[in-house]
A = this chain, B = another copy of it.
């Protein structure tokens, strides 16, 4: 693209994101640490409390988009008018955009070379009409590859900061610390770190089992001087619920410590944003 083209695209992105009070990226160097789950639960917590209809969630994981499935929104077709794409609003009051809405079938892989993917993400950022929002949560692709790089660069100066997700193990700590260096090199402020999959409670005897022994979350926070936002244990009921499309009418979820902790983390993030 020519320099004029890039500048035009950048000014479009600024315009589209201009009516959004807080823009937060959720980031992790490592895949499968629950980044999408955390992004989704933060969005749901914010929408449930006082920002109903004013929370957006951008699934920027171009190769493995899973947010629509977790919200039971697969197959929905966003309204497109000229160059403008309108997000899909979920029953919980969050506005969602994902490449998944534009794929043909369940098994279609997104085999794209870097430049094509960058184009898709830039398009999302410059063409999705979010309207007025209090929060936009951006679920970044894992790693520090092309997709993460494109979103991060495009958002530079346009974003409040990033939430980092890790699991407790040292292997995860090692990979996630790299992602933080990456964010810092791009001048993205770090809001704090969430330790996901901290363990699981035996439903029979109540023993808490550390599935991935370690304290990566707290250690990263201490070593890199960033906020520790909290620990999130595993919950098979939540996993099942996300498989089927989450609904808060589900009574099983009411007592979930996992959800309680995620809602507390969301409150902490909101507090940090309003400082």
A residues engaging B (CB < 8 A)? 29-33, 62-64, 66, 69-70, 106-115, 117, 141-147, 149, 167, 169-171, 174-175, 177-182, 185, 200, 202-205, 207, 209-214, 234, 236, 239-240, 242-244
Distance between Cα atoms of A107 and B236 in the complex (Å) = 33
Contacts of A203 in B (CB 8 A): 207, 209
The 6 tightest CB contacts between A and B, nearest first, are: A31-B31, A32-B32, A114-B114, A170-B243, A202-B202, A109-B182
Distance between Cα atoms of A203 and B209 in the complex (Å) = 8
A142 interface neighbour in B31, B69, B181, B202, Cβ under 8 Å: B31
Contact A64–B244 (Cβ < 8 Å): no
Chain B residue at minimum C-beta to C-beta distance from A74: B174
Distance between Cα atoms of A244 and B110 in the complex (Å) = 36
Chain B residue at minimum C-beta to C-beta distance from A216: B243
Q: A31-B31, A109-B29 are in contact. Are A145 and B63 (CB under 8 A)?
A: yes
A145 interface neighbour in B30, B147, B200, B209, Cβ under 8 Å: B147
Most buried by B among A108, A111, A240, A242: A111
Contacts of A115 in B (CB 8 A): 114
> How far does the Cβ of A140 sit from chain B's closest Cβ, in whole Å?
12
A64 interface neighbour in B30, B109, B147, B207, Cβ under 8 Å: B30
Q: A33-B32, A204-B207 are in contact. Are A64 and B239 (CB under 8 A)?
A: no
Distance between Cα atoms of A178 and B184 in the complex (Å) = 33
7 of the cross-chain contacts (CB-CB < 8 Å) are A64-B178, A69-B171, A69-B174, A113-B146, A141-B143, A142-B143, A211-B236
A32 interface neighbour in B30, B110, B181, Cβ under 8 Å: B30
Most buried by B among A64, A210, A213: A64
Q: A236-B210, A236-B211 are in contact. Are A32 and B31 (CB under 8 A)?
A: yes
Distance between Cα atoms of A213 and B241 in the complex (Å) = 10
